[in-house]
């Protein structure tokens, strides 16, 4: 019976050469790799002289012929294309000097020599293990390679030669029974996958032409890449339980597929390539929900999975192997691109749901438009509305019922009003405690924020940003929501979704626990009505489950330190972002509410912080609170008006029959705050 390559790798693990330990001398590691390299290669590509050298035991001559083969090998069009793309010349120059910035933390290495075992955050708390891990992704090699490709500056080649040799000889692979996935390790599996997917093969392709990069370095590089690929097949996500459930497997197998395609001279290359394709495709099928959203429910990791799978497609096309891809490969990617477009904010960025940072929608839609040239909506997003047509549909709003995201937007224009309402499950691996969270945009400006959780530094701010208290949700007796399940939905999430030309409506409940003990002492129901195109009404009904009175505190997060009351609207506040738009927040029932705000608070609990990742750093913001004390039941109704900065404010009137009238932007709208599903009447 045929056995898959992964099974054979696992069965043969005890027969593999034992990897070095931290105590190994660099010379021993070098000799080990060079001694093993001929055993890993097919003899045929290197010609009869190579075979003869092996037969007579002349290792030095055999290796010289291998190096010569790689020096003379025709240019790889795929990798050359990567080298010709835009790059950061300053980052390349800094890397040559041994200066890097990782997870927003810069560091200049003494004597300009990068130590890939060093963590710059270890002595500057909070420690962030991602600093060392991501240093070992070598993204700056992409810039160095692109810079050398254009300028042929041999100082760049010398710096690269020193860096890659230092890594290979001083950062040994883990032992055969060690997966390397731990703090302080340069061999975590996703780093190995990322290295093989671009930085290492791109650098090899470019610097193999430099006289400053000796044959031995090239030989060590190909041997190390092979070792990294084998490490991934043995210790990546593939042999683990729940192996298909996260983005890691996409990075790992994309890297293996790239290595096996670029270096077919290795005996295991063809089997590695086929197995990597099978694994990454199976993972894609399992991770994409029926509405197209990836199961971690983060635009960041959705994009990671999309990009790594499209990398496989482009490499397969380069080598004429598109026929090896399964028939559902492209349809799955098309569905993933549709979901990304459905979530797009008016500035064509993505809302920061779960662990995330600010991503441009075109990061997915540009490659999607190339893969699917018939999709004019993909082209529209990829070109920033310059070409193509906006997505079709009865309205511009969308509901993704498996991911659990309600997207309310006035239109597809650049100045649209937009609200994202999270009614779904937690998501896998990168979840936040944020059910019923909202974040609101007007045009490209986020007026009520979700910061995406900040850096992975395990600091108090990190945990706060991922908690319910760091979102636009509700606290009960000062405790934020806390749930462990569900990670994904077993059926479409029911949200009472309505969308027409006059209004959008959705609603959902939070019935799980609050606080670390997961006390289920209240049920929170949130309804959102969008009176198009001008304002939103958010109604929050809280009911005690234990028969006791509680304090209910409604939270709104704003990235500004400037808010001021609005005299003509009791309890209302308006922001001062100093930009094009502000947000006016109006409680319809201010009687008995305590309205307060804090910025940069550390005690008695964190509040009023923006914890950014990659594009933003941690800084004070404002948490606006509306608190109803000692109530068994309470209903908040809050109007949210995106306003032109300095523009006219709305007139808000509570009518005797319980309805509310809003006069704003030349329109008069009437609705019942107690029956939001009935929508609005306008005149």
Return the bridge partners of 360, or none: 349
* pLDDT tops 50 at residue 18: no
Q: Is residue 486 part of a domain?
A: yes
Q: Mean pLDDT over residues 385-398, rounded?
A: 97
Are 315 and 78 a contacting pair, CB within 8 Å? yes
Are 633 and 468 a contacting pair, CB within 8 Å? no
pLDDT 10s digits, 32-65: 999 999 999 999 999 999 999 999 999 999 999 9
Q: Is the peptide bond before 126 cis (omega within 30 degrees of 0)?
A: yes
Q: 180 CB contacts (<8 Å, ≥6 apart)?
A: 173, 174, 186, 187, 188, 189, 231, 235
Q: What confidence score (pLDDT) does residue 15 get?
A: 32
Are 297 and 247 a contacting pair, CB within 8 Å? no
Q: Is residue 547 part of a domain?
A: yes
Q: Is residue 305 part of a domain?
A: no
| Number of domains into which the chain is organized | 1
Q: State the residue for tokens 């300095």.
A: 646
Q: Is residue 309 part of a domain?
A: no
Q: Mean pLDDT over residues 195-217, rounded?
A: 98
Where residue 572 sits, what CATH number does that domain have? Answer: 2.70.98.70
Q: Is residue 129 part of a domain?
A: no
Assign 5 a pLDDT band (cuts: 50, 70, 90).
low
Give me the count of residues in the chain: 683
Question: Can you say how many angstroms the Cα of residue 554 is from the centroid of all Cα atoms in its chain?
Answer: 28
Phi, psi (5° rounding) for residue 589? -120, 75
pTM here is: 0.95
Assign 25 a pLDDT band (cuts: 50, 70, 90).
confident
Phi, psi (5° rounding) for residue 378? -65, -40
**204: which 2 tokens?**
């090899």
Distances 597 to 49, 440, 589 between C-alpha atoms, Å: 78, 19, 18
Q: What confidence score (pLDDT) does residue 177 get?
A: 87
Domain that holds residue 606: 398-646
Are 463 and 516 a contacting pair, CB within 8 Å? no
pLDDT 10s digits, 593-619: 999 999 999 999 999 999 988 767 899
Mean pLDDT, the chain, whole residue set: 94
Q: Is residue 62 part of a domain?
A: no
Instruction: Give the 3-state secondary structure of residue 449.
Output: coil
Q: Is residue 298 part of a domain?
A: no
d(CA 455, CA 614): 8
Q: Is residue 672 part of a domain?
A: no
d(CA 219, CA 64): 9
Are 676 and 547 a contacting pair, CB within 8 Å? no
Q: Which residue has the higher pLDDT, 606 or 244?
A: 606
pLDDT 10s digits, 177-186: 899 999 999 9
d(CA 672, CA 636): 13
Assign 86 a pLDDT band (cuts: 50, 70, 90).
very high
């Amino acid at each position: 019976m045929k056995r898959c390559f992964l099974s054979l790798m696992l069965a043969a693990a005890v027969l593999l050469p034992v990897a070095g330990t931290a105590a190994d001398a660099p010379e021993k590691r070098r000799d080990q790799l060079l001694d093993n390299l001929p055993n890993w290669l097919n003899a045929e590509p290197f010609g009869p002289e190579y075979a003869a050298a092996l037969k007579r035991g002349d290792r030095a001559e055999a290796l010289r012929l291998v190096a010569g083969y790689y020096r003379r090998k025709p240019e790889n069009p795929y990798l050359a294309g990567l080298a010709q793309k835009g790059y950061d010349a300053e980052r390349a120059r800094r890397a040559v000097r041994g200066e890097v910035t990782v997870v927003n933390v810069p560091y200049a290495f003494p004597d300009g020599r990068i130590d890939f075992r060093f963590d710059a955050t270890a002595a500057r708390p909070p420690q962030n293990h991602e600093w060392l891990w991501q240093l070992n992704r070598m993204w700056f090699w992409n810039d160095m390679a692109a810079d050398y490709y254009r300028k042929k500056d041999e100082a760049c080649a010398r710096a690269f030669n020193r860096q890659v040799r230092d890594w290979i000889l001083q950062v040994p692979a883990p032992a055969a029974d060690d997966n390397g996935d731990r703090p302080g390790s340069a061999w975590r599996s996703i780093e190995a996958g990322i290295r093989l997917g671009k930085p290492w093969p791109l650098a090899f392709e470019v610097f193999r032409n430099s006289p400053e990069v000796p044959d031995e370095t090239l030989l060590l590089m190909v041997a190390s890449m092979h070792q990294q690929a084998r490490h991934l097949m043995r210790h990546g996500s593939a042999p683990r339980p729940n192996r298909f459930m996260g983005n890691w497997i996409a990075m790992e197998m994309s890297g293996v597929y790239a290595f096996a395609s670029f270096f077919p001279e290795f005996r295991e290359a063809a089997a590695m390539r086929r197995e990597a394709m099978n694994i990454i495709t199976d993972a894609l099928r399992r991770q994409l929900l029926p509405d197209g959203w990836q199961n971690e429910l983060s635009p960041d990791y959705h994009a990671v999975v999309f990009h790594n799978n499209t990398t496989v497609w482009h490499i397969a096309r380069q080598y004429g192997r598109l026929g090896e891809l399964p028939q559902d490969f492209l349809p799955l990617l098309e569905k993933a691109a549709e979901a990304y477009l459905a979530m797009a904010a008016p500035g064509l960025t993505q809302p920061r749901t779960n662990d995330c940072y600010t991503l441009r929608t075109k990061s997915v839609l540009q490659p999607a438009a190339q893969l699917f040239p018939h999709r004019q909506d993909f082209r529209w997003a990829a070109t920033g509305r310059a070409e193509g047509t906006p997505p079709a549909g009865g309205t511009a709003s969308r509901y993704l019922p498996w991911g659990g995201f309600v997207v309310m937007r006035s239109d597809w224009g650049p100045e649209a009003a937009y609200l994202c309402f999270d009614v779904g499950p937690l998501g896998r691996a990168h979840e936040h405690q944020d059910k019923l969270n909202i974040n609101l945009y007007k045009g490209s400006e986020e007026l009520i924020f979700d910061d995406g959780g900040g850096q992975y530094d395990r600091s108090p701010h990190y945990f706060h940003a991922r908690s319910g208290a760091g979102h636009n949700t509700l606290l009960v007796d000062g405790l934020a929501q806390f749930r462990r399940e569900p990670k994904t939905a077993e059926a479409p999430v029911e949200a009472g979704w309505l969308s027409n030309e006059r209004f959008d409506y959705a609603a959902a409940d939070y019935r799980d626990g609050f606080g670390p003990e997961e006390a289920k002492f209240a049920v929170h129901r949130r309804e959102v009505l969008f009176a198009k195109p001008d304002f939103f009404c958010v109604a929050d009904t809280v009911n005690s489950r234990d028969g006791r009175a509680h304090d209910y505190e409604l939270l709104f997060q704003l990235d500004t330190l400037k808010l001021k009351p609005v005299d003509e609207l009791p309890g209302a506040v308006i922001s001062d972002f100093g930009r094009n738009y502000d947000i006016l927040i109006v409680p319809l029932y201010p009687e008995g509410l305590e309205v307060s705000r804090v910025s940069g608070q550390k005690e008695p609990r964190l509040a009023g912080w923006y914890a950014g990742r990659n594009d933003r750093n941690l800084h004070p913001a404002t948490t606006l609170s509306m608190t109803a004390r000692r109530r068994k039941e309470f209903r908040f109704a809050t109007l949210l008006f995106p306003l032109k900065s300095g523009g006219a404010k709305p007139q808000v009137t509570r009518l005797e029959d319980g309805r509310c009238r809003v006069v704003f932007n030349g329109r008069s709208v009437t609705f019942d705050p107690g029956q939001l599903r009935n929508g609005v009447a306008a005149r």
